[in-house]
């Protein structure tokens, strides 16, 4: 640390040592809170290299993975920078935490540190990241204001958005209609982005790929798309004509093999899992296909969401739909629901039909397994649960059939899809939806529907994270209504 640069309180000659002692016991939350509220000893901020710094928006505090503040907007040496801000007590933490190799930190525009080190932070691509030496702008007075930094951070997080203040003024109906509108924009946008896929694939293969992608979402999406392309539906359709246990061996040995899930174990697997492992390995090796073209599958997340379980679940879905054809079976489900479009029990009927389409037979051993290696779990569960089905509906089935209906001018199918959007339950809440619910200062809960949730996500994407200006100049409050009129 450069002691000469530590600021002194104008009223506190000789307090520098006290300040240093105080800082030594502080945690990152102090610097985060100073950054969030922009509480420094002077408004004239500079980088450690002497370039003027002006903070137009400090960014949204991020408590999850990735940089501490996202979507910040900072002028450095007169140039405008949009991106993330990472905060550390020690500059060297950038490397010890592995951020230099992490793509999530690629767009960090400023590294805010309390203690300098010899080695400045560089992003993955080698870009040097400007450093803001927070110690140069701290005084004892700042520390008094920040005596409870965690509380100051909570306060920063808990502020409603300008949209929330406007919503409170205009009433819950106005915000509900703005959310519904945003949800329709999102659904339309998702469908329109699919149109180019028809240049290189047919209906069945596009839907097949989208379902694979959303079944792999998030950690496995790329790997799952790669196997949907490597083993296209028209090839698998031939295998699906086989009796179920043979079709299962043929298809799953391909998928597991291609995703490197049939690697030689250190110790042989026992029991049924071991037999299945050997059988699928032999089948896979007999195909003589390379695995190098596939992304390495990193195992993350909850064990019951293992890639193996999702793949086996997908097989059963595919097998169940295959006698009539993939697309035709999906259309059957939708047209059957169309008869209930205006009925109050559409939600229940839709969930039952979807759960049937993704159900796993009782005799499927993977209902009680997580991987080949893990011992039997002592319980069984559907391989594709309701939460995953809703994700598949939101990201694959509804966008696909909206695009399909638009291409054919099928207005009735479009209407049904929008109805499903309104009646289906939401996915599990996530940090973005919780953020929006909080910012919108909702006085009564939104309807628990896919539409509400998708609307919140669209507002978050279009307004909170697209302009890098926080609430300050956001246009979304104007869409809720003019504050001067009723």
The residues of the shown chain that bind ligand SF4, judged by CB under 6 A, are 161-163, 439, 459, 463-464, 470-471, 474, 476-477
Q: Which is nearer to ligand SF4, 390 or 474 (CB)?
A: 474
Angle, vertex CA 415, rays to CA 410 and CA 420, nearest 5: 125
Q: Which is nearer to ligand SF4, 216 or 470 (CB)?
A: 470
d(CA 37, CA 58): 8
Report the Cα–Cα distance between both ends of the chain, in Å, rounded.
57
Contacts with 91 (C-beta within 8 Å, 6 or more apart), sequence order: 111, 113, 115, 116, 117, 119, 120, 121, 131
CA 319 to chain centre: 30
Q: How far is the CB of 167 from ligand SF4 (least distance, A)?
A: 9
Q: How far is the CB of 307 from ligand SF4 (least distance, A)?
A: 35
DSSP character at residue 464: I
Q: How far is the CB of 439 from ligand SF4 (least distance, A)?
A: 4
Contacts with 127 (C-beta within 8 Å, 6 or more apart), sequence order: none
d(CA 371, CA 307): 9
CB neighbour burial string for 285-305, b if at least 16 within 10 angstroms, e if fewer:
eeeeeeeeebeebeeeeeeeb
Do the Cβ atoms of 8 and 124 come closer than 8 Å?
no
d(CA 78, CA 75): 5
Q: How far is the CB of 470 from ligand SF4 (least distance, A)?
A: 6
Q: How far is the CB of 397 from ligand SF4 (least distance, A)?
A: 28
Q: Which is nearer to ligand SF4, 187 or 456 (CB)?
A: 456
Q: What is the crossing angle of helices 271-287 and 244-258, to 10°?
A: 70
Q: Which is nearer to ligand SF4, 216 or 455 (CB)?
A: 455
Q: Which is nearer to ligand SF4, 153 or 471 (CB)?
A: 471
Q: How far is the CB of 463 from ligand SF4 (least distance, A)?
A: 4
Q: How far is the CB of 193 from ligand SF4 (least distance, A)?
A: 22
Q: How far is the CB of 281 from ligand SF4 (least distance, A)?
A: 51
Q: How far is the CB of 289 from ligand SF4 (least distance, A)?
A: 48
Q: Which is nearer to ligand SF4, 97 or 154 (CB)?
A: 154
Q: What is the crossing angle of helices 411-423 and 450-459, to 10°?
A: 90
Q: Which is nearer to ligand SF4, 15 or 438 (CB)?
A: 438
Q: Which is nearer to ligand SF4, 187 or 442 (CB)?
A: 442
DSSP character at residue 397: I
d(CA 391, CA 376): 28
Q: Which is nearer to ligand SF4, 191 or 459 (CB)?
A: 459
Strand 79-90 vs strand 45-46: parallel, antiparallel, or unpaired? unpaired
Q: How far is the CB of 107 from ligand SF4 (least distance, A)?
A: 19
Do the Cβ atoms of 358 and 389 come closer than 8 Å?
yes
d(CA 253, CA 242): 15
Per the DSSP assignment, residues forming a β-bridge with 131 are: 111
Q: Which is nearer to ligand SF4, 230 or 438 (CB)?
A: 438
Q: Which is nearer to ligand SF4, 110 or 182 (CB)?
A: 182
User: Residue number with the shortest CB distance to ligand SF4?
Assistant: 161
Contacts with 187 (C-beta within 8 Å, 6 or more apart), sequence order: 398, 399, 402, 417, 418, 421, 454
Per the DSSP assignment, residues forming a β-bridge with 46 are: 52
């Amino acid at each position: 640390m450069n002691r000469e640069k530590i600021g002194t309180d104008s009223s506190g000659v000789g307090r520098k040592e006290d300040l240093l002692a105080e800082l030594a016991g502080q945690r990152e939350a102090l610097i985060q809170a100073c950054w969030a509220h922009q509480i420094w000893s002077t408004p004239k901020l500079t980088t450690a290299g002497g370039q003027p710094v002006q903070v137009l928006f400090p960014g949204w505090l991020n408590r999850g993975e990735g940089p501490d503040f996202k979507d910040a907007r900072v002028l450095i040496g007169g140039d405008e920078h949009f991106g993330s801000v990472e905060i550390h007590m020690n500059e060297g933490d950038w490397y010890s935490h592995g951020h230099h190799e992490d793509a999530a930190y690629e767009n960090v525009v400023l590294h805010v540190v309390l203690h300098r080190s010899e080695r400045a932070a560089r992003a993955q691509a080698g870009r040097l990241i400007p450093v803001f030496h927070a110690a140069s702008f701290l005084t004892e007075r700042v520390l008094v204001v920040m005596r409870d930094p965690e509380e100051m951070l909570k306060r920063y997080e808990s502020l409603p958005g300008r949209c929330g203040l406007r919503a409170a003024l205009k009433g819950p109906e106005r915000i509900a209609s703005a959310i519904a509108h945003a949800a329709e924009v999102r659904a339309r946008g998702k469908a329109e982005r699919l149109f180019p896929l028809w240049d290189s694939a047919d209906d069945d293969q596009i839907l097949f790929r989208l379902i694979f992608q959303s079944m792999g979402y998030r950690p496995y999406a790329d790997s799952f798309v790669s196997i949907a392309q490597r083993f296209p539906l028209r090839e698998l359709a031939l295998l699906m004509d086989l009796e179920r246990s043979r079709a299962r061996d043929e298809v799953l040995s391909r998928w597991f093999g291609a995703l490197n899930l049939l690697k030689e174990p250190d110790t042989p697997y026992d029991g049924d899992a071991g037999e299945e492992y050997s059988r699928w390995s032999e089948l896979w090796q007999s195909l003589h296909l390379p695995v190098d073209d596939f992304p390495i599958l990193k195992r993350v997340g909850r064990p019951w969401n293992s890639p193996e379980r999702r793949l086996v679940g997908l097989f059963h879905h595919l097998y169940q739909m295959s006698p009539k054809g993939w697309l035709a079976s999906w259309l059957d489900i939708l047209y059957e629901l169309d008869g209930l479009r205006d009925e109050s029990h559409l939600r229940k009927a839709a969930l039952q039909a979807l759960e049937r389409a993704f159900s796993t037979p009782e005799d499927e051993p993977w209902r009680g397994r997580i991987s080949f290696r893990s011992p039997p779990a002592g319980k069984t569960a559907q391989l594709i649960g309701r939460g995953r089905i809703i994700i598949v509906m939101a990201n694959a089935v509804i966008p696909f059939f909206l695009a399909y209906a638009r291409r054919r001018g099928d207005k009735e199918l479009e209407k049904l899809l929008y109805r499903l959007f309104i009646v289906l339950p939401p996915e599990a809440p996530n940090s973005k939806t919780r953020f929006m619910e909080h910012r919108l200062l909702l006085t009564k809960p939104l309807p628990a529907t896919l539409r509400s949730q998708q609307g919140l996500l669209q507002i978050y994407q279009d307004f909170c994270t697209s302009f890098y200006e926080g609430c300050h100049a956001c246009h979304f409050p104007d869409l809720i209504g003019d504050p001067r009129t009723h």
